[in-house]
Structure 1
Amino acid sequence: MNLYDLARGLHILAVIAWMAGLLFLPRLYAYDVEQNAKPEPLRGEMQALLRLWQTRLLRIILNPAMILAWGFGLWLIHIDVSARGAALLAEPWMVAKLIGVLLLSGWHGFLAAQRKKIAAGTSKYSGKFWRMTNEVPFVLAIIMVLSVTTEWTFG
């Protein structure tokens, strides 16, 4: 086993954990927001449980997985640039991948900020919004994975 294979395997594992959390958290938000239409005794207990799950998902899975995905990804870039040269970073497929990573990280930040707003009752988003945007990470993942596996270029 070489270092590149190790870095790639660890990166894939971290991304799987990150994606799982990013796909699940909006669903928890949808359930939470929809509790507002229910009577208080049921709503309070369920929202407390949902908010506990949201907090734990962010702190125990999502945040560490994102940090590890970034760390192992940067390690992969370092190995690739050392072997193939810095021009690699300007390749269209790599630019698409890096933009996808930035967008995914931004989505992660948005979700983290929304947890606090949902808990405070100040979020303006509905359950329908959370269900509609639930697939944002997967669409970005499709673009990033296909970019990296095909290493497409123009021309």
Structure 2
Amino acid sequence: MQYYLYFKALHIVGFVSWFAGLFYIVRIFVYHAEADEKPENIREEWKSQFNLMAQRVYKIIMNPAMMITWTFGLLMLGFNHGILQQNWIKVKLVLLVLLTVYHVYCKTIIKKQEKGEKTYNSFQFRLLNELPTLFLISIVLLAVLKDVLNFVYLFFGIIAFGALLYFIAKAYKKSREQ
């Protein structure tokens, strides 16, 4: 039982670090996209710096944190495999797989930006940056509540929250343009 608590603690440290990286990398993507609006004499230098920052965040923060999250989460499941009979953990694992897909998608954006290919504009990246928020809220509440029926209601609440974030982002964009 003592090992389980260490695994849980390291799992929490892992996912906190992972989400920090997920939030930060897309902010770097925003800055990279906004560099297109800068004067030509500094544009490429800034983009080069943002590419370097994105690579470091991905390799030094996000990848290790994701591996720590998955490793200690799976170790907890190994020590308490009966939990796999509960529906909430199945939903959580699906969300974690989707989050991992998002993680890998961020790598494809890094590669495209390094090649100078057009990806998204800064507003679209700001919206993309809200996706980990929805994952975070969903996964944490699901892990705490452990009730799929309540999660269904919660899911629709999170979708509404996502819509609210979208409208706030639109309003922020409009205020910046004025």
TM over 0.5: yes
TM-score, structure 1 normalization: 0.91
Q: Any idea what SS the aligned residue of 2:80 has?
A: helix
Question: Which is further off, 18-27 or 143-152?
Answer: 143-152
Percent identity of equivalent pairs:
32
Q: Any idea what SS the aligned residue of 1:124 has?
A: coil
1:2-151 equivalent positions in 2, closer than 5 A: 2-81=2-81, 85=82, 88-151=83-146
Report the RMSD for the aligned CA atoms in angstroms: 1.5
Q: Is the 8 A contact 2:142 2:148 kept in 1?
A: no
Q: Distance in 2 between matches of 1:5 and 1:138?
A: 26
Q: Any idea what SS the aligned residue of 2:28 has?
A: helix
Following superposition, the deviation at residue 48 of structure 1 comes to: 1.5
Following superposition, the deviation at residue 123 of structure 1 comes to: 3.3
* Matched residue type, 2:109: Q
Q: Is the 8 A contact 1:96 1:143 kept in 2?
A: no
- Structure number with the bigger relative contact order (C-alpha 8 A, sep ≥ 6) is 1
Tell me the number of residue pairs that the alignment of Structure 1 and Structure 2 aligns.
150
* Structure 2 residues without counterparts, runs of 5 or longer: 151-178
* Matched residue type, 1:139: L
Following superposition, the deviation at residue 153 of structure 1 comes to: 4.1
Following superposition, the deviation at residue 20 of structure 1 comes to: 0.1
Distance 1:3 1:117, change over 3 A: same
* Structure 1 residues without counterparts, runs of 5 or longer: none
* Matched residue type, 2:52: L
Q: Any idea what SS the aligned residue of 1:125 has?
A: coil
Hey, what does 1:152 align to over in structure 2? 147
* Matched residue type, 2:56: R
* Matched residue type, 1:151: K
Q: Distance in 1 between matches of 2:78 and 2:51?
A: 39
